[in-house]
Amino acid sequence: MGVRENYLEVLEKKDQAAVRSGRKPEDVTLMAVTKLHTVDEINEAIDAGATDIGENKVQELLSKYPDVKPVRWHLIGHLQTNKVKQIIDKVVMIHSVDSLHLAQEINKRAGNAGLVMDILIEINVGNEESKTGINAEDLVPLVKEITGSCEHVRVRGVMCIPPYGEAPEESRKYFAETRKLFQELQQLDLPEDRAVIDTLSMGMSSDYEVAVEEGSTIVRVGSAIFGKRNYR
Ligand SMILES: *Cc1c(COP(=O)(O)O)cnc(C)c1O
């Protein structure tokens, strides 16, 4: 099957999962994750209706950016502070903030560019040593520090990548855990201009339906749309 057919099939399954979770299809966004795929493939997804795409490396995003049709770009991979400047005016959201230092650099660059950047805090939900993201207990303090010091950043919620599992159901408990953290943030009394907690970024090709059932508001789907990636 081609990119268009794949995209439409994932969209349909995402919509059905949204309805199963008591929400409307449009309450859950499908992001097409485009890393290691070509500009032509990305444009095919956009022609099929993709509104949001995600890249996880700054260099790769920048190399494709000029040739991809107008779309909302998200940065979903680990971001080094020295690269923030290059993407600050190109992405609508950064999903992988894991330190005050990074948030402050985003704040500085967003300020210089005259904009407010939406960010998510990445949670290391399985407490895996090899993974990026912060531990659950550090979330509330970090969000308070960011909202206390960053006027050009708006915290929108949290993101997670659960530990690799053989079956989609194995991710469910991690998604439920992340949703709880998200709901905790919603209960906090945060300044309205610096935090609007409405975005829960979780679910990939193997488990996006489970993620939506557990409350995800944006799923990040790569290989189910574009086929398997050729790592070089
Ligand atoms: C690659 C990637 C995805 C998509 O992975 P698939 O399994 O191909 O759907 C989602 N999120 C992040 C952060 C990624 O790096």
H or E stretch at 221: strand 218-221
Query: Hey, is 157 helix, strand or coil?
Result: strand
The number of the ligand 1 atom at minimal distance from the alpha carbon of 226 is 8
CA distance 142 to 146: 6
pLDDT for 140 beyond 70: yes
Q: Which atom of ligand 1 is nearest to the CA of 76?
A: 13
- The C-alpha R_g of the chain, in whole angstroms, comes to 17
Measured from the Cα of 221, ligand 1's closest atom is 9
Find all residues with CB under 8 Å of 56, minimum gap 6, and list them. Answer: 33, 35, 75, 76, 77, 78
pLDDT reading at 123 higher than 70: yes
Domains assigned to the chain: 3-77+86-225 (3.20.20.10)
Pocket lining for ligand 1, CB < 6 angstroms = 33, 35, 56, 76-77, 161, 204-206, 220-224
Nearest CA residue ID for atom 4, ligand 1: 222
Q: Quick one: tokens of 21?
A: 């979770």
Q: Which among 100, 139, 144 is positioned nearest to 123, based on CA atoms?
A: 139
Find the 203 Cα to ligand 1 centroid distance in Å.
9
Distance between Cα 218 and ligand 1 center (Å): 12
Q: Name the residue with the closest Cα to ligand 1, atom 7.
A: 205
**Nearest Cα residue to 8 out of 159, 213, 202, 221:** 221
pLDDT for position 230: 75
Cα 114 to averaged position of ligand 1 atoms, centre (Å): 30
| SS3 per residue for 17-62 | HHHHCCCCHHHCEEEEECCCCCHHHHHHHHHCCCCEEEECCHHHHH
Indicate whether 40 pLDDT > 80. yes
Q: Residue 112: beta bridge partners?
A: none
- Examine the pLDDT at 228 and tell me if it is beyond 80: yes
Write out the two tokens for 165.
């599992």
State the Cα–Cα distance between residues 125 and 179, nearest whole angstrom.
11
Q: What is the pLDDT of residues 41-75, one digit of tens each?
A: 999 999 999 999 999 999 999 999 999 999 999 99
CA 3 from chain center: how many Å? 21
- d(CA 162, CA 156) in angstroms, rounded, equals 20
pLDDT digits (tens, 9 = 90+) for 12-27: 999 999 999 999 999 9
Q: What share of the chain is helix, strand, coil (3-state, %, to 5)?
A: 45, 20, 35
Closest C-alpha residue for ligand 1 atom 12 = 76
pLDDT digits (tens, 9 = 90+) for 104-120: 999 999 999 999 999 99
- Catalogue the E-assigned strands of 67-114: 72-75, 93-97
Residue nearest to atom 10 of ligand 1 (CA): 220
